[in-house]
Amino acid sequence: MADRTEPFEKRHRDGSLWARGQTAGGEPTGYWEWFRKDGTKLRSGSFDEGVQVGEWITYDASGHPHRTTWFVAGKRRTTRPD
């Protein structure tokens, strides 16, 4: 039986949103986002049972995509997998 997903949020000390995603069985799962204190997006990507998978994007200070990294079976790649 699959664990039920629960929404997850963590905040900076000033109360602004730092991270948002979901967990299952205490592990991050699905799509997650991280934010700077000013509210701009810092990073986004997905987890599968706590392991980073697929495309992860790091954003510049303006919130625009800066770098893309891919994860296959939890291993980082700097080029898109075939």
With a threshold of 0.85, does the pTM exceed it?
yes
Q: What is the pLDDT, as a whole number, of residue 1?
A: 43
Nearest CA to 72 out of 63, 81, 62 is that of: 81
Burial class (CB within 10 angstroms; exposed 0-12, middle 13-18, buried 19+) of 46: middle
Residue 9 lies in a domain: yes
Domains: count for the chain: 1
Write the CATH number for 46: 2.20.110.10
Residue 82 lies in a domain: no
33-47 confidence digits (pLDDT tens): 999 999 999 999 999
Q: Which domain holds residue 19?
A: 5-77
Q: What sign does the CA torsion over 43, 44, 47, 53 have? A: negative
Q: Between 69 and 75, where is the model more confident?
A: 69
Residue 61 lies in a domain: yes
